[in-house]
Structure formats: C-alpha cells, structure tokens
Amino acid sequence: MLELCNDQFKTDELQFGFKPNVGCTNAIFTLRTTIDYFCERGSTVYAASLDIRKAFDTVSHHKMFDSLLKTGFPVCLLSLLMNWYSKLNVAVRWKGFLSFKFCVKSGVRQNSS
C-alpha cells in the first residue's frame, strides 16, 4: 500500500474549497476585505470572476488523458484511470423507468463509489 505523508495534503490557508468548515462565505469576506483595504487607500481595484461550476461536466476524457500524458503523469496511473473511465456507463431513471445504459465520454467523476 502506498503511504503518503500528511504534509503532501496541506493546502494554502487562502484556499477555500475542499476544506471542512470553510466555504463561499469565507472567500467573499476575504475578497470584500481586500477590496475595501485598497479602496480606502485610494487605489483603483479591478476584479474578474469566472464561473466554472459546470466545467467538470464538459471535460473530454480523451483530451484529459492526452494532457496528463504530455505533463509526464505516470503511465501506470494513467492506464488505471483510462481503465476506470472506460467502464463509465450510466442509465437514466425517470418516472420509475430505467433507460438503456450508455457510455459517458466527458465529465470528471465526482463523488463516485
């Protein structure tokens, strides 16, 4: 079994996602405090935001694997991911009826068991 040091999982204190008891409210408070700080000192503040809530739903599996390979991602792990994703079949349940299964070729697996 592969053992990983807890230090490898530490995140920056300014990261708000994927942490217990930290979320959008904390991020908004930090952003608002930062903007207020600079505005009170006479600076102009420019901001931009990007809504990526649905981004994971559109990731092409082929492109994802190709990108991982180009970055030097370990081939043995890539092979494992490719095998796992190749078996990603779903069906739709609607009004008590279940559709035929079909293969999913995009989207990143989330909360799967």
Could you say which DSSP state residue 100 is in? P
Integer Rg of the chain from CA:
21
In order along its 113 residues, the chain shows pLDDT tens digits of 344 444 445 667 767 776 777 777 888 888 899 999 999 999 999 887 767 667 777 788 888 899 989 998 889 999 998 888 888 888 888 888 999 888 877 776 665 54
Quote the CA–CA distance of 16 and 18 in Å, as a whole number.
7
Residue with tokens 């043995």: 76
